[in-house]
Structure 1
Amino acid sequence: MRAKITPFLLFNNEAEAAANFYVSVFNGKLLSVTRYPQNTPMAGAVLTASFEILGMTMTALNWGQEATYKETISFAIEPETQEEVDHYWNALIADSGEEGPCSWLKDKYGVSWQVAPEILPRLMSDPDPKKSAAVMQAMMKMKKIIISDIQAAYDNA
């Protein structure tokens, strides 16, 4: 059996633009663009744009109506360095994205992302409750995660 999960992101008519945006943010690649058949009301318009980012294939679909994204589904990114955190955070909130608390944000399309560096869950799961609590308290005060501040909270606990 060959099973595979491909996330679909729904758009009114921004699928190709969104795919190109995510490809640019994550240095990914556009895989394909399909168009509505000629004998349909939306003949020639983009139907889907498939792309790959960070090893994951995703598809943007123009379904002809407004899509409303909720925080109940999000994509998590685990950068290793502050430079990577800054890159993803700044690129995803650019052009009317919104910062949220504790590593969360919404991009300009309303899609929710968590930009949580790999050090965060590692330090939060430390068996020493004082250290893990200090990391949690530091994170709760942040929007974009600052790795050096998380590490300092851990070290000083």
Structure 2
Amino acid sequence: MSKVSTCLWFGQDIEAAARFYVSLIPGSQIDQVLHAPGPWPGGNPGHAILVTFTLGGQSYQALNGGRPADYGTAASISVSCADQAEVDRLWAALTADGGAEIMCGWLRDRWGVPWQIVPEILPRLLADPDPAVASRAFAAMQTMVKLDIAGLERAAAG
């Protein structure tokens, strides 16, 4: 059976990036590190060229492309967080050391990879059967950078 994995292109530091990512999400791990058997345009023999890792049960690859990638915003790693403490912990870690806050729970980490840090309550609020509740939660979300569960709940309650 075929296996699907998301491949992320990095300029260098693929082992550092993968180690950092798996340190953030419980139950994650580095699965394999492949090293270049000979010289190549992006580096020398022995340099890590591909790291496979599992992040929150999902398979990823970190590819050493030799130069930084421009990820744009069309794709991101989305993490559903159980509570505000988890939102805050991940937000602080991922925006540290050159990461950047965006809007509506989006950020870029120090390698430029886009992430969404989303409280698990948000989809429930946005799918509320009362359109007024969903609209208030949606409007509140659009004013936030890092998502705030208490603020979303207050807005939803009216």
Give the Cα separation in 2 of the matches to 1:120 and 1:60.
Answer: 30
> Which residue pairs with 1:31 in the alignment?
31
Where structure 1 has 5 or more consecutive residues not aligned to the other structure, the ranges are none
TM-score between both structures, scaled by the size of structure 2: 0.92
Structure-1 residue corresponding to 2:16: 17
The residue type equivalent to 2:135 in the other structure is: A
1:3: Cα distance to partner? Answer: 2.4
Moved over 2 A (4+): none
Partner of 2:81, secondary structure, is: coil
Q: Whole-Å Cα distance in 2 between the matches of residues 142 and 13 of structure 1?
A: 32
Q: Distance in 2 between matches of 1:68 and 1:132?
A: 34
5+ residue gaps in structure 2? none
The within-5 A match list for 1:14-93 is 14-27=13-26, 28-38=28-38, 40-41=39-40, 42-93=44-95
**TM-aligned CA deviation for residue 105 of structure 1:** 0.5
SS at match of 1:5: coil
Per-residue CA deviation, residues 9-38 of structure 1 (Å, 9 max, x unaligned), is 111221111111111122421111110014
How many residues of Structure 1 are paired with residues of Structure 2 in the alignment?
154
TM-score (norm 1): 0.93
User: What is the alpha-carbon distance in structure 1 between the residues aligned to residue 21 and residue 115 of structure 2?
Assistant: 12
Partner residue, 2:5: 6
- Secondary structure of the corresponding residue to residue 69 of structure 2: coil
Residue 88 of structure 1 aligns to a residue whose secondary structure is helix
Letter in 1 for 2:104: C
Percent identical among aligned pairs is 38
Q: Secondary structure at the match of 1:59?
A: strand
